[in-house]
Structure 1
Amino acid sequence: MMIYLWAFLVGGALCAVGQLLIDLTSLTPARILTGYVIAGVILSAIGFYGPLVEFAGSGASVPLLGFGHLMAQGVQKAVAEQGLLGCLTGGLTAGAAGITASLVCGAIAALLGKSHDQN
């Protein structure tokens, strides 16, 4: 039961920080998104994010920081197996399922939705 509480608290804290960045700074959502992914890569590289994922589970692995962590882990694994070429392929290989799912869901939403003038 505690794992659910920690997942909720950690994931909620990460989302709250993102919301505060949107509300209190002039950063665009795209820059915040990119910053979160890059922060996940950096925190994974210095060894901080792996233990957080083990502690909080989906609360840490689902947000954008978790995507950066996933890509960093994929690059580390691919470099160990394939050498330097792995730095080009590892991140996308590790994140392929999530990237594909988001593209398929976006295509389905575009087919089912009706576009209209935004004004």
Structure 2
Amino acid sequence: MEYVWAFLVGGALCAIGQALIDYTKLTPARILVSFVVAGVILSGVGLYPKLIELAGGGASVPLTGFGHLLAEGVRKAVDEHGFLGVFLGGLTSAAGGITAAMLFGLLAAVCFRSKDK
């Protein structure tokens, strides 16, 4: 049943993003930022951890999950380091994902050549 919930929640998040692309004049960049901010807000009010518990990867993999990860990192760092944790927490908690994205981007750039359209 957890696969069904992951599919439904992840699919719903993707459908919302597709609807925003199709029916609004928002740019993809603004939609992506909105998803991250929505994850931070939902995490701040305590709803996103419950959604992750229900849907697992369907909630933690999309961009809203990245926002949740940033918010949780900041919350933990503030508990440990005080005000300095506001600046350290998000980067510390997301360092693995950011590093993987940069590494795979570099690997793709080395392996493939860009072509003019």
TM-score range, shorter chain: over 0.9
Unpaired runs of at least 5, structure 1: none
SS at match of 2:42: helix
For the residues of structure 2 that align with 1:5 and 1:72, how far apart are their CA atoms?
27
> TM (normalized to structure 1)?
0.96
Residue 58 of structure 2 is matched in structure 1 by: 59
Alpha carbon RMSD of aligned pairs, Å? Answer: 0.6
**Equivalent runs, 1:1-119 vs 2, <5 Å:** 2-118=1-117
> TM (normalized to structure 2)?
0.98
AA paired with 2:28? P
AA paired with 1:8? F
For the residues of structure 2 that align with 1:115 and 1:13, how far apart are their CA atoms?
33
**Structure 1 residue 115: deviation in Å?**
1.3
For the residues of structure 2 that align with 1:22 and 1:96, how far apart are their CA atoms?
29
**Structure 1 residue 116: deviation in Å?**
1.5
SS at match of 1:47: coil
Paired residues in the alignment total: 117
**Structure 1 residue 72: deviation in Å?**
0.1
Runs of 4+ in 1 over 2 A off after TM superposition: none
For the residues of structure 1 that align with 2:50 and 2:116, how far apart are their CA atoms?
47
For the residues of structure 2 that align with 1:22 and 1:3, how far apart are their CA atoms?
29
Unpaired runs of at least 5, structure 2: none
Percent identical among aligned pairs is: 63
